[in-house]
Amino acid sequence: MVLRFTFHAPVDLRTITVRNGYQKATKQTGDLFALNARVHAVRVVTDGGSWTWPLADTKDPQTLSTGFGRTSSVRLEVVSIYPGAKYLDLALSEVAFGTTG
């Protein structure tokens, strides 16, 4: 699985924050996090290089802060997963970028 994000103009990328897994919970279904697969490791690819980022199996936000440099896009390539207890689908609930300029 690959997610690609393209910025309107090049940015100085400082951080990437993700919320792993399916974050939704309802009274009817309960907590769905463990039932769906989650990302175990992801390769981050920018104009400045690539980094492999291991993710914890948690609902907490996780942030990668490194010298990404200027880039016009970010590609997230799933390297490995935590399997879901019930479903085969893979979930990543949120991706946020910290940038300047």
Q: How much is the pLDDT for 101?
A: 62
Radius of gyration, CA atoms only, the chain: 14
- Classified by CATH at the fold level, domain 2-100 comes out as Jelly Rolls (2.60.120)
Residue 25 has a pLDDT of 72
| Residues of the chain where predicted confidence (pLDDT) is lower than 50 | none
Model pTM?
0.91
Query: How confident is the model at residue 6, as a pLDDT?
Result: 98
Q: Which CA distances in Å does 1 have to 20, 31, 39, 64, 98?
A: 14, 24, 10, 19, 23
